[in-house]
């Protein structure tokens, strides 16, 4: 009986990590793409038009109010009677007293109701308030 001699260089002694790194990078990309979509409630809102939206881009807490009366704080839908307590808890969780609170209200919402929501947010402890708008597009003549 003859034994075959295998050269030491033919043996695979390491795990090939290239496929693991490829999968990890794909998962990181998916996370980076989907993370911004999770911070705002999926309630349909028709925002009013404006020239600037810097405040919405830097927001930390989002209050969403639909034309049908539905209310959400970030991604959490809340009943109107629990709005102040939920917002107070969310602001305390943020830990920063200067968290920007953005009101995303439907454009058909009466101004008085939007003003009341902003007043309730200030009473709940919000110091910085903003109103979200859609970017107005310039029409070509």
Q: For the whole model, what pTM was predicted? A: 0.57
Tell me the CATH architecture of domain 40-135. 2-Layer Sandwich (3.30)
Task: Give kind and range of the element (H or E) at residue 131.
Answer: strand 128-131
Spell 51-62 as b/e; 16+ CB within 10 A means b: eebebbeebbbb
Whether residue 64 is predicted with pLDDT greater than 70 in this model: the reply is yes
The model's confidence at residue 3, banded by pLDDT at 50, 70 and 90, is low
Q: ∠82-56-125 over CA atoms, to 5°?
A: 40
pLDDT, tens digit, for every residue of 5-34?
Answer: 555 556 777 888 889 999 999 999 998 888
Give the position of tokens 């009366």. Answer: 69
**Model confidence at 56, in pLDDT bands (50, 70, 90)?**
very low
**pLDDT tens readout for residues 83-134:** 889 988 888 886 777 788 888 888 888 888 889 999 999 998 888 888 888 7
Least confident window among 50-54, 60-64, 70-74, 85-89: 50-54
- Strand duo 134-135 + 76-77: pairing: unpaired
């Amino acid at each position: 009986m003859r034994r075959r001699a295998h050269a030491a260089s033919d043996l695979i002694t390491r795990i090939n990590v290239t496929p693991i790194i490829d999968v990890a990078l794909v998962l990181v990309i998916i996370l980076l793409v989907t993370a911004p979509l999770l911070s705002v409630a999926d309630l349909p809102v028709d925002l009013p038009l404006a020239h600037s939206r810097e405040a919405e881009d830097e927001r930390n807490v989002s209050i969403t109010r639909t034309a049908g009366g539905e209310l959400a704080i970030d991604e959490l839908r809340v009943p109107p009677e629990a709005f102040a307590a939920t917002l107070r808890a969310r602001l305390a969780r943020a830990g920063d007293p200067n968290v920007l609170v953005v009101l995303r209200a439907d454009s058909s919402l009466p101004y008085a109701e939007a003003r009341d929501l902003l007043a309730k947010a200030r009473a709940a402890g919000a110091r910085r308030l903003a109103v979200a708008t859609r970017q107005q597009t310039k029409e070509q003549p």
